[in-house]
Structure 1
Amino acid sequence: MTVEIGVEEIEDIALGATVLGTGGGGDPHVGKLVAKQAIEEFGPVELLPPDELDADDFVIPTAQMGAPTVSVEKLPSGREAVTSMERIERELGKTADATMPIECGGINSTFPFAVAARRGLPVVDADGMGRAFPELQHETFNIYGVSGTPAAVSDEQGSTCLIETEDNDQLEWLARGVTVRMGGVAYVSDYPMTGTQVKETAIPGTMSLAKNLGRALRLAEDDAMSAIREVTRESIYGEARSLFEGKIVDVQRRTERGFVFGHVDIDGLDGDEGSTMRIEFQNENLGAAVDGSYVATVPDLITVLDRETGGPIPTESLRYGARVRVLGIRTPEIMRTPAALDVWGPASFGLEATYEPLADHP
């Protein structure tokens, strides 16, 4: 069943996807504004379940890539990813029947809606990460056999680079270099695929999940954690659980090779008093350790919430003195296969940890 996405739904998707985005995916406020502007100008967008795609439908995902801290300073017009999509269409001699997110976090949960509104296309209710990850090969599309190229990368000046590679790791390496040359943030269309490939490789229902999470948080008043638990309990993910509560006492960040690397240290409060949690991130939160022992790692979701308001906090907004709650959400089964863990398990990010799936909330 298709759903119409207007301005109010974009607000909810942006909020919910910030929870699913595990601190990354680009500034959700920027993506929300770009999508709302496009919808106000061109009309609402159809959210299309992947099982309603025809086998030979042509789907081109669209996204922003680069360092989240840079995207706040280099604001897009909303046309950039359309330029990338149209370059792929010209290359393949085919017109897109739909677009979709490559990840369901931050700006990349809402930016495809701006592309869709401008082009009069539906957005497929699915993505290739089930969260946000920092690199283009971190996709179920890649893991399960879809080529990422031809891909196109564009900037706010109208420059476009077409990329064709033998493998998807090389796509990430080249596209990241182009993005750095374009000022640290750019707009990409990649993994062009058929409707059949979407059904076989994408994580279904993630935009609906983001919308439902956002709406639940908006209506939750003082009990954000219960709202998140209720929505995730009914999803293909695991039920959210609280991992730690405390006060941020240190944040370290550095922008390098087109990413934001760093960590945040949190001193425990209440039941966690006397302990310290460290969260390591590369654009997104990768691992959370309490007193030196990991309690959650990729690919499971690690999200920092404001302890008072329940609002999710992106990595670029973490600040000394903030009182926070850290929650964990287990990823869907398609993201926990041996093939998937080879691509985005803890070792792929240099974490000295063995992946242990989070249990549901007791």
Structure 2
Amino acid sequence: MTLEATHGRRLKRITVEDIDSLARGAAILGTGGGGDPYVGALLAKQAIEEFGPVELVSVDELPDDAFIVPIAAIGAPTVSVEKLDTVEKLHLTIEKLAASVNRTATHTACLEIGGSNSMLPIVAAAQLGIPLIDGDLIGRAFPEIQMGMAPLYGIQATPMALADEKGNTLVIEAIDSFWAERFARQASIEMGCNAFNSTYAMTGAQARESFVAGSMSFAIAIGDAVANAQHNNLNPCGVLAETLGGRVVHLGKVSDLQRQTTGGFAKGQAMIEGMGPDTGSVLSLHFQNEHLLATRDGTVVTTTPDLIIVVDAESAEPVTTENLRYGQRVCVLTAPSDPRWHTIEGLDLAGPGYFGYGVPSHRWDGTPEEHPEPIGRYRA
């Protein structure tokens, strides 16, 4: 969904004044993952103050021969809470990947719209003085690198460049995106479970086909809508559901939480005891960096690839998976993902079966998929 479709305008650059709304909206779209939006917002503001505003370019404006190198963090978000990003070496991944194919990056972009991973590309764009694309490669956040639109169009996550805060760098050349994920995940563990990575380098022509256009502007619009609801004493959760084109699933209090960092991911389950209209019901949330499955009293409510979002019950401020706490009063929402995720190929990459949940895919409105979920080559 683009900002033109929802609000009729589009930003031409990102300034310090845009960052708070962008961070809020990106964390909401990130479905619990993508890193801490607060820390990312501080880094983005600092970069803009040092280097100036970042030019924001729509996918439609890209020249065919533009060379785009996206960037994000890879690792477990629980680690990033204690091991804060040090961005002085951030640009290394873009430069290393571009050099590995004898090109120079003309643009950068978000690998995923979510939390800190929407802020880091702003930092990189400011550092390198190149434009940022108004879009990303997922339309939400997902835990594994191969879970992007690009593989649906034959664009693989290889070569890939990684860097850590010490300046260690690594270029991975794999046979496909799945192997790139496996190698990169192990490398990120050795880098302290929190590293920077660039992958899915592509041309402007390829980006017009494979990007989720307008997601950065849409995130700002979401953040603005929540802030406006707070300021005008409206119902922020209701406004958020309307802005997303989704619905509120559950209102309640976190009554149990199991979470562990394993294999380079934050995995776990949260139980949310119903309040108000949902008193007497319990919602179960399953996550792997991002929220992937929601059941209420044993019945599936919504599943990946659609968005499952947790926000503060009163303010609708996003609550990421690493910041879930016992006793929090939260509102759980769901909203539709990009329709390409509901194709056979999309579900094979990121449906609930991939994560081993053993339930059929359900859309955000609670209805099962029209076609059975396929059994792919790779399973978590």
Aligned: 1:291 with 2:294: no
**73-82 or 115-124: bigger deviation:** 73-82
* Structure 1 residue 89, shift from structure 2 partner: 1.9
Output the CA distance in 2 between the equivalents of 1:16 and 1:304. Answer: 12
* Structure 1 residue 50, shift from structure 2 partner: 0.4
Output the CA distance in 2 between the equivalents of 1:286 and 1:356. Answer: 11
Q: Deviations over 1:313-347 (max 9, x none)?
A: 11111111111110000112122111111100010
Output the CA distance in 1 between the equivalents of 2:89 and 2:140. Answer: 23
Aligned: 1:50 with 2:59: yes
Q: Percent identity?
A: 44
* Structure 1 residue 359, shift from structure 2 partner: 2.9
Residue aligning to 2:341: 335
Equivalent pair of 2:146/2:181 in contact (CA under 8 Å): yes
* Structure 1 residue 231, shift from structure 2 partner: 2.5
SS at match of 2:38: helix
Among 7, 19, 27, the alignment partner of 1:10 is: 19
SS at match of 1:172: helix
Aligned: 1:352 with 2:371: no
Aligned: 1:34 with 2:43: yes
Structure 1 gap segments, 5+ residues each: 233-238
* Structure 1 residue 77, shift from structure 2 partner: 2.5
Q: Deviations over 1:158-212 (max 9, x none)?
A: 0001100111000000000000000111000101100011111111111111010
Residue aligning to 2:281: 275
* Structure 1 residue 93, shift from structure 2 partner: 1.5
- Per the normalisation by structure 1, the TM-score is 0.95
Aligned: 1:108 with 2:89: no
Trace 1:212-223 onto structure 2 (pairs within 5 A).
212-221=221-230, 222=233, 223=235
Output the CA distance in 2 between the equivalents of 1:345 and 1:303. Answer: 17
Q: Give the superposed CA RMSD.
A: 1.2
Letter in 1 for 2:198: S
SS at match of 2:56: strand
Aligned: 1:315 with 2:327: no
Letter in 1 for 2:154: G
Q: Deviations over 1:111-154 (max 9, x none)?
A: 10000001111111111111111010011112221121111000
Equivalent pair of 1:203/1:334 in contact (CA under 8 Å): no
Aligned: 1:184 with 2:196: no
Trace 1:201-212 onto structure 2 (pairs within 5 A).
201-212=210-221
**Number of residues of Structure 1 aligned to a counterpart in Structure 2:** 354
**48-57 or 2-11: bigger deviation:** 2-11
Equivalent pair of 1:216/1:227 in contact (CA under 8 Å): yes
Residue aligning to 1:146: 155
Output the CA distance in 2 between the equivalents of 1:68 and 1:62. Answer: 16
Output the CA distance in 2 between the equivalents of 1:322 and 1:282. Answer: 20
Output the CA distance in 2 between the equivalents of 1:341 and 1:205. Answer: 23
* Structure 1 residue 2, shift from structure 2 partner: 5.4
Q: Deviations over 1:7-63 (max 9, x none)?
A: 111111100011101111111112111111111000000111101001110000000
Q: Deviations over 1:276-329 (max 9, x none)?
A: 110000001010000111101001111111112221111111111111110000
Residue aligning to 1:231: 243
Equivalent pair of 1:66/1:176 in contact (CA under 8 Å): yes
Residue aligning to 1:236: none
Structure 2 gap segments, 5+ residues each: 1-9, 367-380
Equivalent pair of 1:143/1:343 in contact (CA under 8 Å): no
Letter in 2 for 1:31: G
Output the CA distance in 2 between the equivalents of 1:80 and 1:340. Answer: 33
SS at match of 2:249: strand
Output the CA distance in 2 between the equivalents of 1:79 and 1:193. Answer: 25
Residue aligning to 1:162: 171
